[in-house]
Amino acid sequence: MTDAKTKIKETVSAHDVVLFMKGTKEMPQCGFSSKVAGVLNYMGVNFADVNVLADEEMRQGIKDYSDWPTIPQLYVKGEFVGGCDIITEMTLSGELDTFFAENGVTFDKEAADKIREANA
């Protein structure tokens, strides 16, 4: 599992925003991954995607790395932010906007506002 841990650490260090997910940002393979990737794509966030279905060691490794049992998992500037429920909550409350702004992550504020309006 050390190999996966090393790969994960390198990946989250090399990219400002990383989503460990089932599938890819262009073709998510589960509803939860699709929801988080959809939010990030809609908000225009530049993020790296890691398809855990392509690598069983990575699939278990990311759960051990974060001590979080589910996928997807979002990392910003090397920090674990959360899974689908947490990202959804943060998006709807505006907390994700603040978090991105504080961490220098570029996103479309207007798109974020539209998500909140549509879910009000």
Predicted pLDDT of residue 2: 66
Q: How many Cβ atoms are within 10 Å of 86's Cβ, its own excluded?
A: 17
Peptide bond into 72 cis (omega under 30): yes
CB 83 within 8 A of CB 35: no
Task: State the average pLDDT over residues 43-50.
Answer: 97
* pTM (2 d.p.): 0.95
Domains present along the chain, CATH in parentheses: 2-118 (3.40.30.10)
Spatial separation of the C-alpha atoms in residues 62 and 69, rounded to whole Å:
9
Nearest one of 45, 50, 31, 49 to 115, comparing CA atoms: 45
CB 94 within 8 A of CB 70: no
Q: What is the mean pLDDT of residues 38-65?
A: 95
- The annotation places the binding site for [2Fe-2S] cluster at 30
Binding-site positions read 30
Helices 84-93 and 31-42 sit at what angle, rounded to 10 degrees?
Answer: 30
Mean pLDDT of the chain: 95
Mean pLDDT on 32-41: 97
